[in-house]
């Protein structure tokens, strides 16, 4: 009897311990890669940004669908065409307890251009800013170089640092190396820094001074796990609570597994085919003499018509893609509703168009693709090549490791290539300007336009849109520009990649279109 009692007591104690360790809520996340640095202003890169935004807040934060929402700025308004005023929250405090003031914001903007060796500098988001000043303790005034409607989406990428904590003897204050050691990592965000061991766990804990709703997690652990199978195994064994990018082949099984749940975000990364339209001839199309068939709109239309986008999204992408005919999903800014659905595949019409353009027997073409840069990229390209071949255009795939692919693309060695564009602003103008704007690298126009599509009318529309402050008018201009490119088949959209997370049962994630994994948006469903 005694024995039974002790056993009972022991198991009760065990149960209690079990519940206790559960109530100490920790969240372990298996991430694809670790940040290249903890310096919030070092590198514009998803693994860095998602860690930064757990500890730091921007003035304006994008919500999961990329709509700007107030964060440290309660409200904002343009006071003239080039001047904006941001009113700061008065209750916002840094994790060390000190209050947020306009000086911290000014310091933050000052530091950005001073950070040395940055692989992708945050000046990307401050190009248009002429001046940042403190109007009073809780008002920040930002002056742009010219009327600039995208200021709000740009500053949503800029985490606000603490002037007191991030100052230092170096020109930039605390250096990147110091930040990597955890010094100066004082933000207003829901979590604060605990420790980081390179290549292993990055640990954060709840920030008791957070101005918003206190975070649900005592501790958050980011664990870099580059191998997708290893992430999946760790999630199945309970080693981690959440993983980024489950392998597409396992996804069906994950969705039916009673111990797991899956979260999907609207995708904003558009996978597209670019076609060489620079002139004649084109390097990847042999046997056509000096002619480049892609200069003919009918040929481009035929290539688009012969792609079965739905089949690719379902079978090659395992359902983590949305087939589309547009460059940005609805209801994001500038997307065209009528273009959202994938155009129906019509091989017969494609063949007729090719014959009409003078290629009744088709032609040969090489389709370039990176291998391993985007989800199933080479397999998607192979499928498209097979579809083109069925329509009469004998396509061969040239798959290359990403650095080799980008080098070849930048040297214009492809007649057609598959690539993808991640839109982090939820707004059409950056996409159009980079992908189909006339190539003028010094102006930042056409930076990813490897097909060298050029349409002066389109450039004029984009210029006009970027100087239009009225949202409604700008939206119409962008929709018009989008429609213009797509009906000219200047670029061929294929599908949006859908960012996916897998979590243990009982957790939910407000999946973000920008692919950030933010612990504050992970909730226990209880």
Partner 1 sequence: MPVFIINRLFQAFGVILVMSVLVFVGLYLIGDPTSMLVSPEATEIERQALRKALGLDQSIWVQYLTFLGNAAQGDFGRSFLTGQPALQLIIERMPATVELVIVAMTFSVLVGVPLGILAGLRPKAPSSKAIMTGSILGFSLPNFWIGLMLIMLFAVYLGVLPASARGETVSVGPVALSILTIDGWQHLALPALTLGLAKAALMIRVTRAATREVLPMDYIKFARAKGLRPSRILNVHLLKNILIPIITVAGLEFGQAIAFAVVTESVFSWPGMGKLLIDSIITLDRPVVVAYLIMMVFFLVILNLVVDILYMAIDPSAREKVRD
Contacting residues toward partner 1, per CB under 8 A: 30, 33, 36-37, 42-44, 116-121, 123-124, 176-177, 180, 197-201, 223-227, 229-231, 233-234, 236-240, 401-404, 406-407, 410, 421, 430, 434, 441-444, 447-448
Which is nearest to 154 in space by CA: 513, 425, 423?
Answer: 425
The neighbour count for residue 440, using CB atoms within 10 Å, is 14
- Residue 273 or 354: the one with the smaller Cβ distance to partner 1 is 273
Q: Please state whether 290 falls in left (phi above 0), alpha (psi between -120 and 50) or beta.
A: alpha
- Residue 89 or 433: the one with the smaller Cβ distance to partner 1 is 433
DSSP state of 405: H
User: Contact 422/376 with Cβ under 8 angstroms?
Assistant: no
| Separation of alpha carbons 470 and 226, rounded Å | 44
Taking the complex as a whole, the smallest distance from the CB of residue 489 to partner 1 amounts, in Å, to 22
Taking the complex as a whole, the smallest distance from the CB of residue 233 to partner 1 amounts, in Å, to 4
Q: What are the φ/ψ torsions at residue 142 (nearest 5 degrees)?
A: -115, 125
Taking the complex as a whole, the smallest distance from the CB of residue 439 to partner 1 amounts, in Å, to 10
Taking the complex as a whole, the smallest distance from the CB of residue 518 to partner 1 amounts, in Å, to 20
- Residue 144 or 207: the one with the smaller Cβ distance to partner 1 is 144
List beta partners, residue 133: 141
- Residue 9 or 17: the one with the smaller Cβ distance to partner 1 is 17
| Separation of alpha carbons 318 and 410, rounded Å | 31
Strands (E), 121-167: 129-136, 139-144
- Residue 33 or 79: the one with the smaller Cβ distance to partner 1 is 33
Taking the complex as a whole, the smallest distance from the CB of residue 180 to partner 1 amounts, in Å, to 7
List the 491-497 sheet strands across, edge first. Answer: 321-323, 491-497, 269-275, 416-422, 364-370, 394-400
Taking the complex as a whole, the smallest distance from the CB of residue 41 to partner 1 amounts, in Å, to 12
Q: How far apart are the first and last CA of the chain?
A: 38
Buried b (16+ CB within 10 A) or exposed e, 453-480: bbbeebbebbeebbebeeeeebbebbbb
The neighbour count for residue 207, using CB atoms within 10 Å, is 24
- Residue 395 or 502: the one with the smaller Cβ distance to partner 1 is 502
Taking the complex as a whole, the smallest distance from the CB of residue 254 to partner 1 amounts, in Å, to 13
Tokens 């198991």 sit at which residue? 11
- Residue 224 or 284: the one with the smaller Cβ distance to partner 1 is 224
Collapsed DSSP state (helix, strand, coil) of residue 341: coil
- Residue 239 or 476: the one with the smaller Cβ distance to partner 1 is 239
Taking the complex as a whole, the smallest distance from the CB of residue 383 to partner 1 amounts, in Å, to 24
- Residue 23 or 117: the one with the smaller Cβ distance to partner 1 is 117
| Separation of alpha carbons 297 and 310, rounded Å | 23
| Separation of alpha carbons 62 and 229, rounded Å | 31
Taking the complex as a whole, the smallest distance from the CB of residue 44 to partner 1 amounts, in Å, to 6
User: Contact 47/123 with Cβ under 8 angstroms?
Assistant: no
């Amino acid at each position: 009897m005694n024995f039974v009692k002790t056993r009972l007591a022991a198991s009760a104690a065990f149960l209690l311990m079990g519940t206790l360790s559960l109530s100490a809520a920790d969240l372990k996340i298996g991430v694809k890669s670790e940040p290249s640095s903890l310096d919030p202003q070092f590198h514009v890169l998803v693994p860095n940004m998602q860690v930064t935004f757990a500890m730091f807040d921007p003035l304006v934060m994008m919500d999961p669908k990329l709509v700007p929402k107030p964060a440290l700025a309660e409200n904002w308004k343009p006071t003239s065409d080039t001047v904006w005023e941001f009113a700061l929250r008065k209750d916002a405090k840094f994790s060390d307890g000190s209050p947020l003031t306009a000086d911290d914001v000014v310091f933050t903007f000052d530091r950005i251009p001073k950070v040395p060796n940055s692989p992708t500098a945050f000046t990307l988001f401050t190009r248009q800013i002429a001046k940042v000043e403190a109007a009073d303790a809780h008002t920040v005034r930002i002056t742009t170089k010219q009327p600039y409607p995208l200021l709000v989406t740009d500053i949503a990428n800029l985490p606000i640092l603490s002037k007191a904590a991030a100052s230092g003897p170096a020109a930039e204050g605390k250096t990147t190396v110091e930040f990597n050691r955890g010094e100066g990592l004082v933000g207003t965000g829901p979590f604060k820094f605990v420790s980081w061991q390179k290549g292993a766990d990055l640990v954060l804990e709840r920030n008791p001074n957070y101005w918003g709703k206190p975070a649900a997690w005592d501790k958050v652990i980011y664990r870099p796990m580059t191998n997708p199978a290893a992430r999946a195994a760790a999630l199945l064994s309970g080693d981690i609570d959440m993983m980024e990018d489950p392998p597409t082949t396992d996804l069906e099984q994950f969705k039916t597994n009673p111990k797991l749940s899956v979260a999907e975000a609207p995708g904003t990364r558009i996978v597209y085919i670019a076609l060489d339209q620079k002139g004649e001839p084109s390097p990847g199309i042999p046997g056509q003499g000096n002619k480049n068939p892609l200069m003919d709109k009918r040929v481009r239309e035929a290539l688009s018509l012969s792609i079965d986008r739905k089949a690719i999204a379902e079978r090659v992408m395992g359902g983590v893609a949305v087939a589309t005919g547009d460059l940005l999903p609805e209801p994001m800014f500038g997307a065209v509703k009528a273009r959202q659905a994938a155009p129906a595949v019509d091989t017969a019409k494609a063949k007729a168009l090719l014959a009409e353009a003078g290629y009744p027997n088709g032609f040969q073409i090489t389709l370039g693709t990176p291998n391993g840069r985007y989800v199933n990229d080479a397999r998607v390209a192979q499928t498209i090549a097979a579809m083109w071949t069925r329509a009469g255009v004998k396509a061969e795939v040239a798959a290359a490791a990403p650095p080799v692919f980008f080098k070849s693309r930048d040297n214009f060695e492809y007649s057609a290539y598959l690539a993808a564009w991640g839109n982090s602003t939820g707004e059409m103008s950056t996409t159009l300007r980079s992908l189909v704007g006339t190539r003028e690298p010094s102006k930042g126009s056409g930076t990813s336009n490897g097909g060298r599509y050029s349409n002066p009318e389109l450039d004029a529309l984009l210029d006009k849109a970027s100087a239009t402050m009225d949202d409604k008018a700008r939206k119409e201009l962008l929709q018009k520009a989008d429609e213009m490119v797509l009906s000219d088949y200047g670029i061929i959209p294929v599908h949006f990649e859908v960012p996916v997370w897998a979590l243990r049962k009982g957790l939910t994630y407000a999946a973000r279109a920008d692919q950030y994994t933010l612990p504050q948006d992970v909730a226990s469903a209880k």
